[in-house]
Amino acid sequence: MTVKHPRRRLRLATREALTCYLFLLPWAIGFLAFVLGPILASLVLSFMRYDVVTAPRLIGISNFRDMFVTDKRFMMSMGNTAYYVLLYVPLHLLVALGLALLLNQKVRGMPVYRTLFYIPSIVPIVAASILWVWILQPEWGLINSLLGLVGIKGPLWLASLTWSKPSLILMALWGSGSAMIICLAGLQGVPQHLYEAAEIDGADRWDRFRHVTLPMLSPTLFFMLVLGVIGSFQVFTTAYVMTGGGPAESTLFYMLYLYRRAFVFLDMGYAAAMAWILFVVVLTLTLVQFRLANRWVYYEAEQR
């Protein structure tokens, strides 16, 4: 009995472990075959010249050298993307937080309002892009028609060098609904007694927002910031559908240029190298954000 018992437990534990691995197998196959494998292949590829038709050839670091030395489009697409990220991410957080605060009040008809603000974020991106090309159309589009009614001559929007990127950002902000819901869930998770305690201490509305709401919401905001940066560095579809990178390549974003190098010019090695640069940039920014997080992100558990 005493000898048999531990052996049986061991066998049970092994069986359980095998079951666990078996259940994880489909995901693991997908991860190895379609994520990890390709990432490593992409690294090797970035040191090669490969056009799919002829055999790949090792060319050392010349893909990377070309990017930073001879290829003006590379730096330009990086600049366009940085512009987009720097403007879109903060505005996106502000809009999401603002809407969430607005929708967190006790007002009649709130479910209707919430639905209205949320719905644009589930519109298929191609359908939304086509709709916005029409809305931003310089002569007969809705925005310029309405501006015309009050005597303002609207800009050329997507056809203007200065307004093309802000136009895409404006459209992206229209879809802030899901971020708003995340914020709203965060807001509703703030315990009411904290507000009551602050009120007793004489805190006004702003104090309560600044010293209760913001700290309690900071983990949510941090999560949105990290995912927002990763996502907006890869902005692609709206530019591809709405502007095709124009005018004068002012919306040639990084992903769009990468797509062209890979699938229009069949320059697979160069595109892989570009993907790796983007990966490193995004990874660095993510790590920096995690490093900076303990300065402003408040986790309740630490205080207990």
Partner 1 sequence: MIQETTMRVGGARRVYRSSLRTRVSRIFGRAASHIVLLAGAAVFAIPFVWMVSTSLKTDRQIFAWPPVWVPNPIVWGNYPAVFDYAPLHRYFLNTMVIATAQVFGAIITCSLAAYAFSRVRAPGRDVIFTIMISQMMIPGVVTLVPLYILFAKLDWINTFLPLTIPAMLGSPFYIFMLRQFFLTLPMELEEAALIDGASRLRVWWTIIMPLSKPAIATVAIFSFMFAWNDFTGPLIFLNSRTKFTLSLGLQAFMFERRTLWGPLMAASTLMITPIMVVFFLAQKHFIQGIALTGMKA
Q: Please report, as residue ranges, which positions from 99 to 138 form the binding site for partner 1 (by CB under 8 A).
A: 99, 102-103, 105, 107, 113, 115-120, 122-127, 130-135
Q: Is 16 in the site for partner 1 (CB under 8 A)?
A: yes
Q: Pick the closer one to partner 1 by CB: 3 or 149.
A: 149
Q: What is the rounded CA–CA span in Å between residue 1 and residue 95?
A: 67
Q: Pick the closer one to partner 1 by CB: 54 or 105.
A: 105
Q: Pick the closer one to partner 1 by CB: 156 or 226.
A: 226
Contact 233, 286 (CB under 8 A): no
Listed in order, strand segments (DSSP E) in 27-74 are: 48-49, 57-58
Q: How far is the CB of 192 from partner 1 (least distance, A)?
A: 18
Of 9, 10, 11, 31, the one binding partner 1 by CB under 8 A: 31
Q: How far is the CB of 231 from partner 1 (least distance, A)?
A: 8
Q: Pick the closer one to partner 1 by CB: 63 or 250.
A: 63
Q: What is the rounded CA–CA span in Å between residue 253 and residue 172?
A: 15
Q: Pick the closer one to partner 1 by CB: 91 or 135.
A: 135
Q: CB under 8 A: which stretch of 29-37, 67-75, 191-199, 208-216 binds partner 1?
A: 29-37
Tell me which residue has tokens 């992903």.
Answer: 255
266 to 59, 99, 193, 236, 302: CA distances (angstroms): 16, 44, 61, 18, 52
Using CB under 8 A as the binding rule, the residues of this chain from 179 to 218 that contact partner 1 are: 181-182, 185-186
Q: What is the rounded CA–CA span in Å between residue 132 and residue 168?
A: 9
Partners of 58 in the β-ladder? 48
Q: How far is the CB of 59 from partner 1 (least distance, A)?
A: 16
Q: Is 268 in the site for partner 1 (CB under 8 A)?
A: yes
Q: How far is the CB of 38 from partner 1 (least distance, A)?
A: 4
DSSP assignment of 229-291, as one string?
A: HHHHTT--HHHHHHTTT-STTTT--HHHHHHIIIIIS--HHHHHHHHHHHHHHHHHHHHHHHH
Q: What is the rounded CA–CA span in Å between residue 256 and residue 77?
A: 8
Q: CB under 8 A: which stretch of 27-35, 62-70, 159-167, 208-216 binds partner 1?
A: 27-35
Q: How far is the CB of 265 from partner 1 (least distance, A)?
A: 12
Q: Is 27 in the site for partner 1 (CB under 8 A)?
A: yes
Binding mask 47-86 for partner 1 (x = CB under 8 A): ---x-x----------------------------------
Task: Give the SS3 label for residue 22.
Answer: helix
